[in-house]
Amino acid sequence: MTTALEKTTAAKDRPVPGTPLLEVRDLHVEFKTRDGVAKAVNGVNYSVAAGETLAVLGESGSGKSVTAQTIMGILDMPPGRITSGEILFRGQDMLKMSGEERRKIRGRKIAMIFQDALSSLNPVLSVGYQLGEMFRVHQGLSKKEAKAKAIELMDRVRIPAAAQRVNDYPHQFSGGMRQRIMIAMALALEPDLIIADEPTTALDVTVQAQVMDLLAELQAEYHMGLILITHDLGVVADVADKIAVMYAGRIVETAPVHDLYANPAHPYTEGLLRSIPRLDQKGEELYAIKGLPPNLYKVPAGCAFNPRCDAATDLCRTESPALHQVTDRDGAELAGRKSACHFWKETLHG
């Protein structure tokens, strides 16, 4: 990497790895539409530290993206509405900041990578312009300086012949290259935190691995926090430090990645893990969680998962479970493990 980028890195007040970066507390978001009020996020709690990767898992519609958009401050309002909660970024509640303060965090401190790079890049502006814009707006660089920076960034994410391609438009790149450009854009100002919303879903399998590796590598290099939203449990095992599982707009389980894989504390997580195809189970029929994801306009009373849960009891149908601290058989707290199930003990130890 060239000296120019290193200098900015040194000048920045980077959080020490391991210190808390972002903490989402009891976030609630709903959408008012013609069909009624959709409770998309119903009490999300998660946190990321500098240098840490948090994977957010969950079925389609479970509120992963809405949470991420709320953190970024790019939620469509209306129809969206944040009804309660806090989003602490380095100790400060971003929901209480002014629009201008938040804008200065976006892109500079927290950046986002979107799923579909083709539609997320502006079709009528060159990639060089779109990358350079970050430097021009946030650092006041000239057009020429910004372009040099853009080329540097494209090199950094290993786009071949960056200097020649800097004036090309998004549609002239392949899917993988476009996603690299998205990554470069997020990386441009070396933010403290990157939120990647399904960054590889739209790509071919072989390209997926390359892009994921690049992202993990850059994250390690810059000691950034990373929130990785995905459906893909395989990717999670490789790169994440901890996992938050979402269901119907709630975190139902959080745990360090290996603990969760080895021994889930929530029936929904159990079902998810059983539904991954595994080499040693070849030939057996793949498990699928019965039933459909809940209707967000009418979330079931009690535990939202109860209509689909094999272990559900009457308690589950009336009382919503709290997010319990998980303990081992001797009652000692397991660090970072929580579960929103009345019967987490039975699930974990049973």
Ligand X SMILES: Nc1ncnc2c1ncn2[C@@H]1O[C@H](COP(=O)(O)OP(=O)(O)OP(=O)(O)O)[C@@H](O)[C@H]1O
Which positions lie near ligand SF4, rule CB under 6 A? 267, 303, 305-306, 309, 311-312, 316, 321, 341-343
Binding footprint of another protein on the chain (CB under 8 A): 69, 72-74, 103-108, 111-112, 114, 116, 119-126, 133-134, 137-138, 169, 171, 185
Window 17-46: residues binding ligand X (CB under 6 A): 31, 33, 38, 40
| 66 counts as binding ligand X under rule CB under 6 A | yes
Least distance CB 29 / another protein (angstroms) = 16
Q: Is 294 exposed, middle or buried (0-12, 13-18, 19+ CB in 10 A)?
A: buried
Query: From the CB of residue 4, how many other CB atoms can be counted at a distance below 10 Å?
Result: 12
Backbone angles phi, psi at 149, to 5 degrees: -65, -40
What does 79 interact with, of ligand X, ligand SF4, Mg ion, none (CB < 5 to 8 A by kind)? ligand X
- Nearer to another protein (CB atom), residue 124 or residue 288: 124
Residue with tokens 């013609």: 34
CB of 67 to ligand X, least distance (A): 7
Beta strands in the chain (DSSP E): 20-33, 36-49, 53-57, 80-89, 92-93, 110-113, 193-197, 225-229, 242-247, 250-256, 324-327, 333-339
Instruction: Return the residue of 10, 11, 16, 60 that touches ligand X, per CB under 6 A.
Output: 60
Nearer to ligand X, 76 or 314 (CB): 76
Please tell me whether residue 65 binds Mg ion under the rule CB under 5 A. Answer: yes
Side chain identity at 133, as an amino acid letter? E
CB atoms within 10 A of CB 303: 29
Residue 340: which residues within 8 A CB-CB, separation 6 or more? Answer: 250, 251, 252, 253, 266, 303, 321, 322, 323, 324
73 binds ligand X, rule: CB under 6 A: no
- 244 lies in the site for ligand X, by CB under 6 A: no
Q: What is the largest CA-CA distance in the chain?
A: 67
- Does 69 bind Mg ion (CB under 5 A)? Our answer is no
Which DSSP symbol is given to 12? Answer: S
Question: Could you give the angle at which helices 175-187 and 127-139 cross, rounded to 10 degrees?
Answer: 10
Choice between 88 and 137, CB closer to another protein: 137
Which residue number, 42 or 65, has a Cβ lying nearer to Mg ion?
Answer: 65
Site residues for ligand X, 273-302, by CB under 6 A, read 296
342's contact among ligand SF4, Mg ion, ligand X, none, with CB below 5 to 8 A by partner kind, is: ligand SF4
Query: Which option in another protein, ligand X, Mg ion, none does residue 46 bind, with CB closer than 5 to 8 A by kind?
Result: none
Buried b (16+ CB within 10 A) or exposed e, 86-96: ebbbbeeebbe
Binding site for ligand X (CB under 6 A): 31, 33, 38, 40, 58, 60-66, 76, 79-80, 296
